[in-house]
Amino acid sequence: MILETLNLMHYNITSVVPEVMPTATVPILLLMCFLFLIWNYEETSSIPGPGFCMGIGPLISHGRFLWMGVGNACNYYNKMYGEFMRVWISGEETLIISKSSSIFHVMKHGQYICRFGSKLGLQCIGMHENGIIFNNNPALWKEIRPFFTKALSGPGLVRMIAICVESTKDHLDRLKDVTAGLGNINVLNFMRQITLDTSNTLFLGIPLDENAIVLKIQNYFDAWQALLLKPDIFFKISWLYKKYEKSAKDLKEAIEVLIEQKRQRLSTVEKLEEHMDFASQLIFAQSRGDLTGENVNQCVLEMMIAAPDTLSVTLFFMLVLIAEHPKVEDDMMKEIQAVIGDRDVQSNDMSNLKVVENFINESMRYQPVVDLVMRKALQDDVIDGYPVKRGTNIILNIGRMHKLEFFPKPNEFSLENFEKNVPSRYFQPFGFGPRGCVGKFIAMVMMKAILVTLLRRYTVQTPKGRGLKNIQKSNDLSMHPNERQPFLEMFFMPRRNIDKCQDD
Ligand code: HEM
C-alpha cells in the first residue's frame, strides 16, 4: 500500500490521500524519510569525524582537501578528531590514520594492496591501470611489480652504488656549469639531475637531455598532484585540466622516444645479455604479448621519475640540515674517514656507516618528502576495534605518526631519536608489506653513496639567515619545496681539511 501510495506515475495523488491533506504532504513525507535515513546513518558511524549533515559534510571535507592540499587537510583532521578518523573524498568514506598500530595493520595485510584516486585524473596522466605506483587493478599490478622488484634488488642494487658514486663525481666536476653569479647552486635541481642520471644508467641506458627531462618530470609531478583527487566535474571543463594533460603528454612522449631508441639498440646489439636491464625486460615482455606497449612506456616513465621525485628532495633537505647542524656533519665526516678513508664508498661499507644511516633516518623522520600513503580496503575488516567497510579509502598519515609516538625528541632534529633500536612499526618512511616502496633498499644505498661522495669533497652552506624553517613546503601529495622561492640555493665549498676532521 505504501509503495502504491508513493507510485505517482500510476495513481492520481488526490485519489489516495484524503482531500483535506494538501498535495505538498507527500514530498514532505519523503523529505522526512530522507532525514530519518541520514539521522540513522550518522548514528551508526562509530568512527570520529565531521557529521554527514545532509551531504554538506562530504562537500566540505572534499573542499578542504582541494583547498588546503592533501597533507595539510590530513593533519588538520587528525588534530581535530584524533588519530583514527573519517572524512569523505568524492563522497566516498575515507579514513585518515596516524596511529602506529592501525598503520601497521593496513600496511601488513593483503586486503589493502590498492590505492585510490580520481579515475579520470589517473587516466589523464597515464597511471590508470598502467605502471605500478597508482595502478589500482590488483591483477595487473601483481604482474608489473616483479619487474620493479628484480631491477631494484640483487645485482642491480649493488651496481647502483658505483653508478651513484660516478654520477655524483661527474656532476661535481661540472659544478661550475650550474653555479650562479654569487657562487650559489640550485641544489634541488642538481640532485634531480644526479638521480635522473643514475636511474637512466641502471634502468634504461639511453643518452638524454637531463635539464629537459628534469623539467618535464617536475611538470608531470605537478599534474599528478593537481589531478589525483579532483572531482569528476573538473574533467568536464577542458580548459581547467588542459595544462596538466599537456605536462603528462610531454613527459610520456619524451620517454616514448627514449624507449624507441632502446628498441632499435636491442635489435642491433651482439651480446644481448649485456643489455638486459629493466627497460629491456619490459620490451621483451611486450614482444611475448605479456604487456601492452602503453604499460611498458608507463613503467619506464615511473621508474625514471621515482628517484628524482623523492630521493632528490630528501637529499636536498638533508644538505640543508647538515648546513644547520655542524656537529652532526663533524660526526659523519669522522665516520666516513674511519670507514672509507681516501677511496670511494663501496657496497661493503654500507652497513658500517651507522652515523650516516641514523642521520638519513632522522632527516626522513623530521623532514619527510612522502608523509602520506594512500590505500583502499578490498574487504570488510576491523582495525583497532573500528569496523572498516570494503571500498573505504584510507590515508596513512605517516609523517604525523613519526612525530607522535616512540621518539624521545619528536619535534626536534636530533640523532638521539635513532640512538636506540627503533621498532619498525614506529618508523615507516617507505611504507612496508606487499605494497610498500619497492625501491626502499636501493633508495637507502643511493642516498648513502651520493651523500658520502658529495660530503667528502664539499661542505655546504645555506644563504645567511636562511634554513629549513624558511623554505616554503607545499604539503600536498608530498612535501616538495615550492620551486619558485629563492631559498633553494646553497653554497658548495671545497673541503680541503678532511684529514683535520679526524685529528680533532
Ligand atoms: C627517499 C626516497 C624514497 C621514499 C621516501 C619513498 C617512499 C615511498 C612510499 C611511502 C611509497 C608508498 C608505500 C606504501 O604504499 O606503503 C612508495 C612507493 C613506491 N616507491 Fe618509493 N620512495 C623513495 C624512493 C624510491 C626509489 C628510488 C624508487 C625506485 C627507483 C621508488 C619506487 C617506488 C615505487 C615503484 C612505488 C610504488 C610501489 C607499488 O605501488 O607497488 N621509490 N615509495
Q: Which helix (H) or strand (E) holds 448?
A: helix 440-457
Contact by Cβ (8 Å): 125, 248: yes
Q: Which helix (H) or strand (E) holds 87?
A: strand 84-89
CA distances (Å), 265 to each of 205, 268, 296, 346, in order? Answer: 10, 5, 17, 31
Q: Is the CB of 307 under 6 A from ligand 1?
A: yes
Inform me whether the pLDDT recorded for 500 exceeds 70: no
- Confidence at 36, pLDDT banded by 50, 70, 90: low
- Pick the more confident residue, 257 or 480: 257
Inform me whether the pLDDT recorded for 2 exceeds 70: no
Tens-digit pLDDT profile for residues 64-73: 988 998 999 9
The grid coordinates of residue 435 equal 605494497
Burial 435-446 (b: 16+ CB within 10 A, else e): bebbbeebbbbb
| Residue 480: partners with Cβ closer than 8 Å, 6 or more residues away | 221, 313, 369, 473, 474
375 — phi, psi (to 5°)? -140, 170
- Confidence at 21, pLDDT banded by 50, 70, 90: low
Radius of gyration of the chain (CA): 26
- Confidence at 474, pLDDT banded by 50, 70, 90: confident
CA nearest ligand 1 atom 17, residue: 437
Mean predicted confidence (pLDDT) in 7-23? 44
Dist. CA 14 → ligand 1 center (Å): 65
CA nearest ligand 1 atom 32, residue: 439
Mean predicted confidence (pLDDT) in 407-414? 96
CA nearest ligand 1 atom 18, residue: 437
pLDDT at 23: 62
User: Best mutation site among 107, 144, 430, 442 for ligand 1, i.e. most ligand atoms within 8 A of its Cβ?
Assistant: 430
Inform me whether the pLDDT recorded for 401 exceeds 90: yes
- Confidence at 262, pLDDT banded by 50, 70, 90: very high
Q: Is the CB of 107 under 6 A from ligand 1?
A: yes
Q: Is the CB of 85 under 6 A from ligand 1?
A: no
Displacement of CA 43 from its chain's centroid (Å)? 35
Q: Is the CB of 58 under 6 A from ligand 1?
A: no
Q: What CA–CA distance (Å, rounded) separates 19 from 21?
A: 5
Dist. CA 443 → ligand 1 center (Å): 9
CA nearest ligand 1 atom 41, residue: 435
- Pick the more confident residue, 214 or 270: 214
Dist. CA 440 → ligand 1 center (Å): 6
Q: At what angle do helices 278-287 and 293-324 cross, to 10 degrees?
A: 160
Dist. CA 144 → ligand 1 center (Å): 15
Q: Is the CB of 369 under 6 A from ligand 1?
A: yes
pLDDT at 39: 53
Q: What CA–CA distance (Å, rounded) separates 93 from 374?
A: 13
Tens-digit pLDDT profile for residues 82-95: 999 999 998 899 99
Q: Is the CB of 377 under 6 A from ligand 1?
A: no
Ligand-binding annotation for 437, yes or no, is yes
Within 10 angstroms of residue 337's Cβ, the number of other Cβ atoms is 17
User: Best mutation site among 112, 310, 321 for ligand 1, i.e. most ligand atoms within 8 A of its Cβ?
Assistant: 310
User: Best mutation site among 194, 309, 437, 447 for ligand 1, i.e. most ligand atoms within 8 A of its Cβ?
Assistant: 437
- Pick the more confident residue, 432 or 274: 432
Mean predicted confidence (pLDDT) in 178-193? 84
| Residue 389: partners with Cβ closer than 8 Å, 6 or more residues away | 93, 377, 380
Q: What CA–CA distance (Å, rounded) separates 112 from 392?
A: 10
Q: Is the CB of 438 under 6 A from ligand 1?
A: yes
Dist. CA 292 → ligand 1 center (Å): 23
- Pick the more confident residue, 173 or 485: 173
Dist. CA 436 → ligand 1 center (Å): 7
- Confidence at 20, pLDDT banded by 50, 70, 90: very low
Inform me whether the pLDDT recorded for 29 exceeds 90: no
- Confidence at 9, pLDDT banded by 50, 70, 90: very low
- Confidence at 479, pLDDT banded by 50, 70, 90: confident
- Pick the more confident residue, 51 or 466: 51
User: Among 52-61, 115-124, 276-285, 435-444, whose mean pLDDT is lowest?
Assistant: 52-61
Dist. CA 306 → ligand 1 center (Å): 7
Burial 109-131 (b: 16+ CB within 10 A, else e): bebbbbbbbbebbbbbbbbbbbb
- Confidence at 177, pLDDT banded by 50, 70, 90: confident
Q: What CA–CA distance (Å, rounded) separates 397 from 399?
A: 6
Q: Is the CB of 437 under 6 A from ligand 1?
A: yes
Inform me whether the pLDDT recorded for 400 exceeds 50: yes
Q: Is the CB of 311 under 6 A from ligand 1?
A: yes
- Confidence at 469, pLDDT banded by 50, 70, 90: confident
Dist. CA 374 → ligand 1 center (Å): 12
Q: Over the chain, what is the mean pLDDT? A: 88
Dist. CA 435 → ligand 1 center (Å): 9
Mean predicted confidence (pLDDT) in 321-344? 94
Q: Is the CB of 439 under 6 A from ligand 1?
A: yes
- Confidence at 31, pLDDT banded by 50, 70, 90: low
Inform me whether the pLDDT recorded for 13 exceeds 50: no
